[in-house]
Amino acid sequence: MNHYVSDFEKDDDCAIPTSSTLTRSKRSITSEDEIMELLWQNGQVVVQSQTQMSLKKSQHHKYDNTVLPIEQSTPREIRSSHEQQQHLLMQEDEMAPWLHYPLNDTNFDQDFCADLLYPSTACVTSTTTNTSAAPIRSTHNPEARLHPAVSAATATATATNTATASRPPIPPTRRAEVVQNFAYFSRHRARGGVSESGPSNLKTVLKESTVVDSSDTPAMVSESRISEAAFARSTAGVSSGDNACGIMSGAAVAGTSSRGGGSNNKDLITCEMTVTSSPGGSSASAEPPSQKLATDDRKRKGREDETEYHSEDVEFESTDAKRQLRGSTSMKRSRAAEVHNLSERRRRDRINEKMRALQELIPRCNKSDKASMLDEAIEYLKSLQLQIQMMSMGCSMVPMMFPGIQQYMLPLGMGMGMGMGTEMGMNRPMMPFPNVLAGAPMPTPAAAAHLGPRFPNPTFHMPTIPTPAPDPSRIQATNQSDPMLSAISTQNPNLQHRVLNFSDPYQQYLGLQQTQTPVSQNQAKTRPITSKPGTSQAAENLDNHQSGT
Residues that bind other proteins (CB under 8 A): 344, 347-348, 350-351, 354-355, 357-358, 361-362, 369-371, 374-375, 377-378, 380-382, 384-385, 387-388, 390-392, 394-395, 397-399, 401, 405-406, 409-410, 413-414, 416-417, 420-422, 426-427, 430, 432-433, 435-438, 440, 455-456, 458-459, 461
Comparing CB distances to other proteins, the nearer of 285 and 372 is 372
Distance in Å, CB of 481 to other proteins, minimum: 13
Distance in Å, CB of 63 to other proteins, minimum: 50
Comparing CB distances to other proteins, the nearer of 289 and 505 is 505
Identify whether the C-beta of residue 378 lies closer than 8 Å to the C-beta of residue 498: no
Identify whether the C-beta of residue 276 lies closer than 8 Å to the C-beta of residue 206: yes
Comparing CB distances to other proteins, the nearer of 388 and 449 is 388
Q: Which own/partner contact pairs does 307-311 have at CB distance under 8 Å and 24+ positions apart?
A: 307/262, 307/331, 307/333, 307/334, 308/179, 308/180, 308/183, 308/254, 308/334, 309/180, 309/183, 309/184, 309/186, 309/187, 309/254, 309/257, 309/258, 309/262, 309/264, 309/265, 309/268, 310/262, 310/263, 310/264
Comparing CB distances to other proteins, the nearer of 236 and 426 is 426
Burial class (CB in 10 A: 0-12, 13-18, 19+), 332: middle
Helix, strand or coil for residue 92?
coil
Distance in Å, CB of 55 to other proteins, minimum: 55
Identify whether the C-beta of residue 253 lies closer than 8 Å to the C-beta of residue 179: yes
Comparing CB distances to other proteins, the nearer of 179 and 418 is 418
In the chain, % helix, strand, coil (3-state, to 5) comes to: 80, 0, 20
Identify whether the C-beta of residue 209 lies closer than 8 Å to the C-beta of residue 294: no
Distance in Å, CB of 416 to other proteins, minimum: 7
Distance in Å, CB of 405 to other proteins, minimum: 8
Comparing CB distances to other proteins, the nearer of 146 and 485 is 485
To the nearest 10 degrees (0 to 180), the angle between helices 370-397 and 403-417 is 160
Distance in Å, CB of 441 to other proteins, minimum: 11
Comparing CB distances to other proteins, the nearer of 374 and 449 is 374
Helix, strand or coil for residue 288?
helix
Distance in Å, CB of 372 to other proteins, minimum: 8
In this structure, the number of other CB atoms found within 10 A of the CB of residue 403 comes to: 20
Comparing CB distances to other proteins, the nearer of 273 and 384 is 384
Distance in Å, CB of 337 to other proteins, minimum: 11
Comparing CB distances to other proteins, the nearer of 357 and 473 is 357
Distance in Å, CB of 483 to other proteins, minimum: 14
Q: Cβ neighbours of residue 516 under 8 Å, at least 6 residues apart?
A: 425, 427, 428, 431
| Residue positions counted in the chain | 549
Distance CA 401, CA 425 (A): 25
- Kindly state the helix (H) or strand (E) to which residue 240 belongs, with its residue range: helix 231-240
User: Which residues, listed in sequence order, are joined to residue 156 by a DSSP beta bridge?
Assistant: 19
To the nearest 10 degrees (0 to 180), the angle between helices 2-15 and 263-277 is 110
Comparing CB distances to other proteins, the nearer of 370 and 532 is 370
Distance CA 522, CA 51 (A): 103
Distance CA 376, CA 381 (A): 8
- Kindly state the helix (H) or strand (E) to which residue 219 belongs, with its residue range: strand 217-219
Comparing CB distances to other proteins, the nearer of 171 and 403 is 403
State in Å, rounded, how far the first CA of the chain is from the last one.
80
CA distances from 244 to 122, 237, 403 (A): 6, 8, 88
Distance in Å, CB of 374 to other proteins, minimum: 4
Q: Residue 124 phi/psi, 5° resolution?
A: -60, -45
Comparing CB distances to other proteins, the nearer of 345 and 532 is 345
Comparing CB distances to other proteins, the nearer of 172 and 404 is 404
Distance in Å, CB of 436 to other proteins, minimum: 3
Burial class (CB in 10 A: 0-12, 13-18, 19+), 484: buried
Distance in Å, CB of 292 to other proteins, minimum: 25
Distance in Å, CB of 370 to other proteins, minimum: 5
Distance CA 174, CA 213 (A): 19
Identify whether the C-beta of residue 244 lies closer than 8 Å to the C-beta of residue 119: yes
Distance in Å, CB of 479 to other proteins, minimum: 14
Comparing CB distances to other proteins, the nearer of 33 and 375 is 375
